[in-house]
Amino acid sequence: MLVVQKYGGTSVANVERIKAVAQRVARTVKEGHKVVVVVSAMAGETDKLINLAHQISSNPSEREMDLLLSSGERVTSALTAMAIEGHGYKAIALTGRQMGIITDAVHTKAKIEKITGEKAKKALGDNYVVVIAGFQGITETEDVTTLGRGGSDLSAVAIAHALNADLCEIYTDVDGVYTADPRIVPEAKKLDKISYEEMLELASLGSKVLQTRSVEFAMKYGVPVVVRSSFNDNPGTLVTKEDEDMEKVVVSGIAHDTNQAKITVMGVPDRPGIAARLFKGIADANIVVDMIVQNISSDGKATDISFTVPKTDSKKTLKITEDIARELGAKGVDLREDISKISIVGVGMRTHSGVAAQMFDTLARHGVNIMAISTSEIKVSCLIDTKYTELAIRVLHETFQLAGA
C-alpha cells in the first residue's frame, strides 16, 4: 500500500515530536508500506514569520511573503527526513518545487494546477521514504507560492491523488473530526466517518481541522482521507462518500468562524446594477465574499447592504467598498470585526424539516441576536455577536443531542 501521511504543526512542533513522527513512519514502512510524508512548519512558525514581515513592512509584497513563509516547511521536511534515516531507512526531503507542484500565480492563496512528482516517483521506486514540504508550490515562471493557511492539508491530498496513493492520513493534535471543536465543547463526540460534503461545509464554515480546499479536492477526486492523532494510536475519522446511515442523523456537526468581518454599506440607492458594481469591485481584488444581506428599502429609494469577508481582507475590502460607495452615492460604510458565524451541518437536513427553526429558537431562548442568516441544503449559518460564540455552540450541541453516550 502507498500511504501519504501529513503531519501538522503541533505534530512537528519540536525535536521530540519530529522523532515521534519518524518512529511512526518507520513502523509503517516496517509493516510493508511505501510512505510519503508531508509536513507543516513547526507550530507557531508561520505566524512568527508573518509577524516578522509586518515588523519590516506594513504592506509586504505577497511574492516575498510566499518565499518567506515557505521556509518553515523546508526546515521540518529536512529534519524529518534526517530523523527517519536515524531509524535505518532511506529518506529524501523535497521542497514543493522539487516535487513539481505547479500552481497559478495568486500569491498567498495559490491553486495547484498540476503535480509532476518525477523525483518522488523515482525515489519511491528506489525504496526511499519521501518527505515533502507542505503548503508550497511554484509557478510556471518559477516564483514560490503558498496555498493559503492550513495549506499542507491540500498538499497532502493533492500529492496522494498525483501518486495514486491508497490512503491519505492527516495527523493532528485531536483524535479525528468531532461534532464540534473539542477545545470548546468538551462533550463533543468523535465521528467514525463523515461525508465529503459535510466535511466540506464544516471546513468552509470554520472547523479548521481540515483546510477547505483540501476537502474540495478529496471530494472531487475521491481521495480517501483519515483524520487522526499523532499523539496516540486511536482510530480516526474517515472522510468518505455519503451512505444511507449518514442521512439518519439530522445534524452531524457544529462549526464556528471568528475570522470574519461584516461590512455594511448604508443608504445605497435602490436600483438595478448596484450590487453588481459593488461585488464585482471586491471580486476583482480576489476577495471572497461570504454572507450577503440586502434589506428591502422601505421608501423605494435607499437600502442597506451587509456582507462578510475574511478578517484578513477586511481593511482592503473596506477601502474598495468606500471608493465604490462614494461613486454610488451611498450614505456611508461601517466595518464590524466582533462577529462570529455559527453553523449547523448535516446531510440529514435534506429530509428533515424545521431544523433552522429549532436553531433560531435555541439562540433566541439564550438571548442571542441573529444579524444574518444563510442556508444551503445541508447547513444553516447565523451571524452573531462574537461574545456569544461559546454559549451558542454549547446550547446548539445540546439541542441537537450531539454529545457522546
Q: Which residues of the shown chain bind ligand ADP in the complex (CB under 6 A)? A: 8-11, 40, 150, 172-174, 177-178, 180-183, 207-209, 253
156 interacts with, out of ligand ADP, ligand ASP, Mg ion, none, CB within 5 to 8 A per kind: none
Smallest gap from residue 190 Cβ to ligand ADP (A): 8
End-to-end alpha carbon distance in the chain: 35
Kindly tell me which of 137 and 150 has the beta carbon lying closer to Mg ion: 150
Q: Which amino acid is at 159?
A: I
* Closest to 96 in 3D by CA, of 140, 62, 130, 133: 133
Residue 43's region, left for phi above 0, alpha for psi from -120 to 50, else beta, is: beta
Kindly tell me which of 181 and 249 has the beta carbon lying closer to Mg ion: 181
Q: Can you tell me whether residue 321 is helix, strand or coil?
A: helix
Stretch that binds Mg ion, among 142-150, 276-284, 332-340, 355-363 (CB under 5 A): 142-150
149 interacts with, out of ligand ADP, Mg ion, ligand ASP, none, CB within 5 to 8 A per kind: ligand ASP
Q: Residue written as cell 464556528?
A: 256
Among 25, 29, 72, 313, binds ligand ASP (CB under 6 A): 72
Is 379 among the residues that bind ligand ASP (CB under 6 A)? no
**Which residues between 146 and 185 bind Mg ion (CB under 5 A)?**
150
Kindly tell me which of 9 and 72 has the beta carbon lying closer to ligand ADP: 9
Vertex 24 angle, CA 18 and 28, to 5°: 140
Is 150 among the residues that bind ligand ASP (CB under 6 A)? yes
Can you read off the three cell numbers belonging to residue 308? 462578510
Residue showing the smallest CB distance to Mg ion in the complex: 150
Kindly tell me which of 72 and 253 has the beta carbon lying closer to ligand ADP: 253
> In 86-229, which residue ranges form alpha helices assigned H by DSSP?
118-125, 152-162, 196-204, 212-221
Q: Can you tell me whether residue 29 is helix, strand or coil?
A: helix
Answer for the pair 286, 106: CB distance below 8 angstroms, yes or no.
yes
Count helices and strands (H / E) in the chain.
12, 20
Smallest gap from residue 203 Cβ to ligand ASP (A): 13
* Binding positions for Mg ion, rule: CB under 5 A: 8, 150
